[in-house]
Amino acid sequence: MSTRKPVPVALFRLGQIVATPNALSKLCHEDISTAIGRHEAGDWGDLDEEDKRENQLSLEKRFRLLSAYHARSGVKFWVITEADRSVTTVLMPEDY
């Protein structure tokens, strides 16, 4: 019996993945990798229901997508994919 989790299906292209220097200094590779996987699968993380609905609309209309997550250390960070799907940025809220 396999214990592997199913691989989530990507709902959109991420484009080039970048991170701010501040995010790289505060987050580990695993936190970033996990968040990006959740983001592209439509798991918007720690957003309220209104913001999650906004992301669903943004997915349909090809607007910018924003997710919010917490690292294992407890620090909050964001993942943003631009409307044209050319770039996905990992950043700290204070980097915005």
Total domain count, the chain = 1
> What pLDDT shows up at residue 7?
62
Go through 39-48 and write b for each residue having 16 or more CB atoms within 10 A of its CB, e for each that does not: bbebebbebe
Other CB atoms within 10 A of residue 22 CB: 13
Per the structure, the complete domain to which residue 35 belongs is given by 16-95
Please check whether residue 74 lies inside any domain of the structure.
Answer: yes
The answer to whether residue 5 is domain-embedded is no
Do the domain assignments include residue 2?
Answer: no
The string of pLDDT tens digits covering residues 1-48 is: 556 666 668 999 999 999 999 999 999 999 999 999 999 999 999 999
Nearest to 38 by CA among 60, 18, 10: 10
**Confidence (pTM):** 0.90
Give start and end residues of each alpha helix (H) in the chain.
Answer: 21-26, 29-40, 49-61
